[in-house]
Structure formats: structure tokens, C-alpha cells
Homo-oligomer: A and B are copies of this chain.
């Protein structure tokens, strides 16, 4: 379970990291605590050693108790072996504390101190920044959720410049803020000079301290006594030094500034930012949530105090929209941060046309393999789903006009699609959707196409149902019920059923009518497989999408009776009727539990677009995959016939490298059976009913879906892959402008004992979306919240 990031107004808490082991972290801590204690009577310091190794009487908290007697000290876990905690923990037969428990324990301790008059606390790590914790995880990763501001103790020895800077970089990669650097002065190596300049340039103060007295050489009582005396002396002098005092002041100011900045961010944002998809009218700062940082599935959001005398704090908030459907491998993923940094360090961005670099090539090859559609042979890079779909549109229109010999300057070429589709915000792809709230106020919008009504899948009252739209009941018959979601997906059998026949006839008649009666010309079939996201999480009956594809491919004569150009007989991969474009920007790459959402339909599109999860959720990148035949439509001796499209940062190395590593990580999760527990849960509810239930599963439990489907306020619910969608009944009519889901959204935002839940609504639909690495306990905690809210 997540912890809130550690931030309090009354308590300045810092984590002390060392550039290496034995650089004097504990001495620095003792100096700082003494300085605090000496400064003002109302100041109280505390020292926390979460994990300590080595003999008890040499333990760091003991040192503090002796030499900073007014400081409260605590050690959470003590191992006797003077070695790295992960080895010490193995040797000690006692139970090793779980990382989550260590984190919770640190947070609880600091919280307690914040509430009991402690004004300054240090949390001291063991060894260097990457020294392993008791379970082997590097400390820098282990403590990251707390994101305490860092006091880095640099190394004053030979080689210490290097280890100090590397340690700093390792902290930076994990999104830590290093607030000050301290080290002992060594006038021969002068590391403090070099490092002072280095850190000054980064706005981080560095304080050189006088070296402590030498360690006891002899063990006799007298000399031990003298050594102690010397050390007491040292602390009393150094802790009272004006530079140490001003450092404390500076740390104090930084803590204030961090809080102040969090407090005023929303107000400043409201003045300056023009938010996407946001009506600013009536918007107040309270409607904007400051995000201090994020880790794994959780934002650290700032919660303003009810009244100014109280302190605001940071809360863990589940990112329930997967940050607009992008998240796959968790926020603040250090592996992806390193991938990004590696590509940035190796290339920056390099010009793509005429060149090739490893990340772009590796991603192209890997992606084609991952998607596994034999038609798709070519990769075109753009920056986001919208631009990728513009490219797909240009590709398909050209291929069609070429084959059918149409002159697009003389007549309008349309697209075939589904009602409620959404392919992006640029005007070209807006024209690919029917008139709706999204585009009706865009002055240059001109919908160019025909969009089918379609049957939707949902569970209501415990039954999986394919719901036929009112208008089509006469043609397509009544709603159908299924024993399991897997059965709905037995497209291969259903396609030969009566429903399949109805669907095909309806589709064929419609197209015939559009072409023959209304003289429309079509250039592409464009669909979001399975779920139409922005349209309101519309779960389309996969059989309908399959039939639509079959009809288009099976009836090439439909689209140009004058010149019924047949597909190239040389290859079975040739497109037929119309190029089929799948917009998998949202639904692809494991969002629905499979590598491609096309695979649910048994349809291999001629063009497919992926984005969002492509980079695991880190940076924008999009790919438009196309068949060799589509590619060939742009080939000619004339430059002007080429696809003259390309953004400045096409195939930017950072995006490609991060995508290569994300794809590998996701494929590995798939192959390793990481989702088996979720899969088994759904398999259990997959009963044979004459259909062969396909493997369809969700991270959200089948039990939850079933339970919610009985709730009075719920019209229907479904889950697939990482997506859970709840459609609420709305007396005032459904749709994007409905407010029916606002209440549920507010309940989730208020959260439970562990965390809050951020969610997005689309009219009367509230959906939740996890990453592909979300933990079961987290998801089940959210399910509890949902049950409490709806049942």
C-alpha cells in the first residue's frame, strides 16, 4: 500500500544519503541535530535510522544518543552483521521486514514526530545511495515514495569527487531533490572546492566541515575517554558555527518554499495555463490539483488544509485514468528514466529522414513482431495518436484513390466508421468522426463519412448482454445474452450464426444504399477495435466489427461499380474493398490484455496506429504501421508523390528507446505469466454454453463486475484488460454532457483509509484504468471503495 510523500509544515524532515559508505553521515547528522538543539529552545530534533547493521553499541542511533543527547532517536530494524543490510538480513534468521512495512514505519514515525513538537528530523540511510535495503532493493528506490528532500554527504577522499557526483546523479534520476551537500574539508584533495563549484551551478549549497578528530587508536579506558572528550568538543564547536546555522536556515526556507509553492500552484496555473478539454468558466484554484510527484500507480497530490492554521499534506492518489490511458509501467519508473537518459546522452535527437539509428530501427522491428499481423510491414513515426491517425488517413485515401482512379480534388472521398468514434483532435481526423460535442464548435470541421450504429456489450444484473440499438431492433433482432464474456468473443462461431447474418445484411444494405442511392465514395474503413474510448467507453460487439470488416473486404465491387478494382491476386495480403484502418492508440499493446486489440476480432487491418502505452507511459510517440501495398501506393519517380508528412522530432531517440524497453518489459510480463492470477479469476467464470469462450480477462475482478451490475444506479458495467467502465443511469439522458457520474467520482476522490482515487468521467460513464503492473492489493482496495459507493 502506498504512503504519502513525507512533507509537513511543522517538521523539516530530510533524508541523509552518503556518496559512499564511511563518509561520515552519522557525524553530519550529529552536527545538524546538535545545531538544531542549540539554536532555539523551542526547536527539537529527532534522528531515525530505519535499518542499521553492525554491533548494537556501534549503532548510529547510539552515537546520536551519546553526542546529541537532546535529540530523540529511533532505529526501526537492527542487524548485527557489519555488512550490507541485504546480507545481514539473510544471516539474521529473524523475519525480514517487507519494504512496504519499512516505508510505512518511517512515515508513521515521522508523522508522529510532526504531531508531537519535533521540528527537525533526519532519516539516515545505510552505506551509499544504492546500497541495498534488507530485501535487496536499492535504498534510493526503496525510499523513493517518501521523496524526502536529501542531504547528501559527499566524499572528501581521493576519488570522492567522482563518487559524490555519481551518487547525486543516481538520486536525480529518481526524481529526488538534493537540498544540500556537506563534506569534510580535506586541503590536499580539495574535493570541497571542485564540488562546491559543481553544486553551486546547480543551485545547491555545499558546506565543507572541519574534519572530525581521528578515531580512537587504542582501546584503554583513558584514551577512549580522551577521544570522547575530543568528539564532544568537536560537535560543540562545529554545531555552533555560523555556516551550519545558516544551512539550517536555508533548509527551513526550502521546506517553507516547497509548501508555499504547492499552495500557490493551483492559483498560478489558473492564471496562466489553458487546459486541454477543460471549460475554464467558473473554474477555481480548488479545481486544480497540484501534483508534487508520482510513483508507481500513485500521484502525490497536495491537499490544502481546511483552515490556514492547519498544515496541508501530500496524499497518495491512485491514478485511475492511467493519466489519460497512457500508463503501463508505473510513474517514476527508474528503468524508463534511465532509458530516456541513455538515449538523450547517446543521441539527443537526430534527424530521421535519410538516417537511421538503433532505437528507431529496433522499435520498428520489435513492434511489427509484437503486433504479429503479417500484413503490417512498414513503420511510420509521428508524435501522438492524432497525428498518427492523420497519417493513416492519408495512406488509406491515397491507396483507394489510386486503385479506383478517383480524383479527390473533384469529389469528396468519405470514410466508413462507427458512431461515437474519436481519432484525435487535429482537424483532419476530427473529420473522420460524425458530428458531436467534440467537433461541433470547430469552425473547420466537416464530417466526411458514414458512421454505423452498433450493438454494445455490457453486463447488467449479472448477465453479459449484447444490446441492440433501439433503431436496429427491427433489423438485428433482440438483445442477446451470454454465459460469459469469453463467449461474446467466440467470434469464429458467432460469425456463422443468425446474428452474424443479420449484421452482415444490415451492413451490406447500408453501404449499397450510400454508394448507389446517395452516390457516396469511400476511401477507408476506420475503427477503434473493441472499445471506442473517448466516445464514452463504448464496448462494441466484436462480431459487429468483424462483420463490418468481412463485408468491406468481401465486396470490393461495392465501392466502385464503374471500375471494380480487385485486390492484387498475387498476394493474399492485398487490401480488398477498402483499406481497413485500426486505431489502436488506446486499445493496443496490452491495454485490453492482449498485444493487439485486432486479435480479438480475427481481423488483420491494413493500417494500424499505436501510441499511449507504446512508451510505457513516459513520453509522446506514435507509430502508424502499414502494409507493403499501401506503402507502394506512394512510390513513384516523383518526389511529390511521396508521403510528404513528417514532424521535427520524428522517431526521436528518447521516445524510441523508452518504447523499445517498455515493449520488452510488457512482453516479458505477458510471457512470464505475471497476470495469471487475474486470468484465472476470469477463467473460472467462463462457462461453456455452446460457444467456445475465448481468453478474455481483466485486472478488475469478475466478482466486482458482477456485483456492480446489480447496483440500482448502474445501467451496465464491463471490464476488460486494465479497463473498468461503469455506466450510470441518467434520467436526464446519457452523453458527454451528463453529470450522472460526478457523485461517484467525488466518492472515489474522497478515497478510503489507504489512498484517494483520481478518476475521469465521460458523461454518465465513470471508468477506471490501471497500469499493467498494478498490484492486486491496490486494485482490490479500490474495488472495496466502489462497492461501498454503489452497493
Contact = CB atoms under 8 A, between A and B. Distances in A.
Interface stretch (A269-277, A462-470, A672-680, A716-724): A269-277
Nearest to A435: B409
A93 to B, nearest CB: 18
A346 B342 CA distance: 17
Interface residues on A, range: 35 or more
Given A290-B357, A619-B652, A282 B637 contact: yes
A542 B653 CA distance: 37
A128 B276 contact: no
Interface in A622-645: 624, 626, 631, 634-645
Nearest to A20: B159
B654 A619 contact: yes
Contacts of A637: 279, 281-282
Given A332-B348, A620-B648, A289 B355 contact: yes
Contacts of A301: 355
Contacts of A725: none
B172 A159 contact: no
A648 B612 contact: yes
A354 B159 contact: no
A348 B294 contact: yes
A336 B348 contact: yes
Given A444-B393, A644-B438, A337 B330 contact: no
Contact of A428 (B377, B398, B426, B655): B426
B427 A86 contact: no
A311 to B, nearest CB: 20
A642 B301 CA distance: 26
A75 to B, nearest CB: 19
Contacts of A234: none
Nearest to A338: B172
A640 B326 contact: no
B648 A324 contact: yes
Given A159-B22, A279-B642, A172 B341 contact: yes
Contacts of A165: 130, 138, 170
Given A166-B130, A166-B167, A355-B290, A441 B387 contact: no
A647 B425 contact: yes
A334 B290 CA distance: 29
The 6 closest A-B CB pairs, nearest first, are: A276-B646, A175-B346, A128-B162, A427-B428, A21-B159, A175-B345
B274 A188 contact: no
A744 interface: no
B384 A649 contact: yes
Interface string A53-76: 000000000000000000000000
How many copies of this protein are present in the complex?
A: 2
A345 B619 contact: no
A129 B160 CA distance: 11
A361 interface: yes
Contacts of A448: 444
Contact of A425 (B279, B346, B438, B644): B644
Given A383-B387, A385-B647, A444-B408, A332 B353 contact: no
A319 interface: yes
A644 B288 contact: no
Contact of A643 (B274, B386, B643): B274
Contact of A342 (B175, B348, B439): B175
A381 interface: yes
A37 interface: no
B324 A277 contact: no
A478 interface: no
A440 interface: yes
A414 to B, nearest CB: 10
A187 to B, nearest CB: 11
A636 B321 CA distance: 26
Nearest to A287: B354
Contacts of A332: 344-348
Contacts of A440: 640
A153 to B, nearest CB: 12
A325 B648 contact: yes
Given A86-B194, A390-B425, 18 more contacts: A18-B159, A20-B20, A130-B165, A166-B169, A172-B342, A273-B380, A274-B380, A274-B643, A276-B352, A276-B380, A287-B354, A319-B351, A349-B617, A386-B647, A401-B443, A425-B645, A437-B640, A619-B620
A286 B624 CA distance: 25
A380 to B, nearest CB: 4
B408 A431 contact: no
Contacts of A173: 169, 173, 338, 341-342, 344-345
A345 B172 contact: yes
A654 B175 CA distance: 11
Nearest to A334: B345
Contacts of A523: 443
A636 B361 contact: no
B161 A163 contact: no
Contacts of A429: 427
A638 B290 CA distance: 25
Interface string A176-206: 1000000000001110001000000000000
Nearest to A357: B291
A167 B378 CA distance: 39
A361 B268 contact: yes
Nearest to A276: B646
Contact of A737 (B83, B188, B640): B640
B162 A20 contact: yes
Given A378-B273, A617-B349, A620-B649, A83 B128 contact: no
A190 B321 CA distance: 43
Interface in A341-398: 341-358, 360-361, 364-365, 368, 377-381, 383-387, 390, 393-394, 397-398
A253 interface: no
Contacts of A326: 349, 648-649
A438 B641 CA distance: 9
A598 interface: no
Contacts of A269: 356, 360-361, 364
Contacts of A642: 277-280
Most buried by B among A159, A378, A638: A159
Nearest to A175: B346
A722 to B, nearest CB: 15
A175 B343 contact: yes
A350 to B, nearest CB: 5
Contact of A427 (B266, B341, B390): B390
Given A20-B159, A169-B173, A634-B280, A355 B291 contact: yes
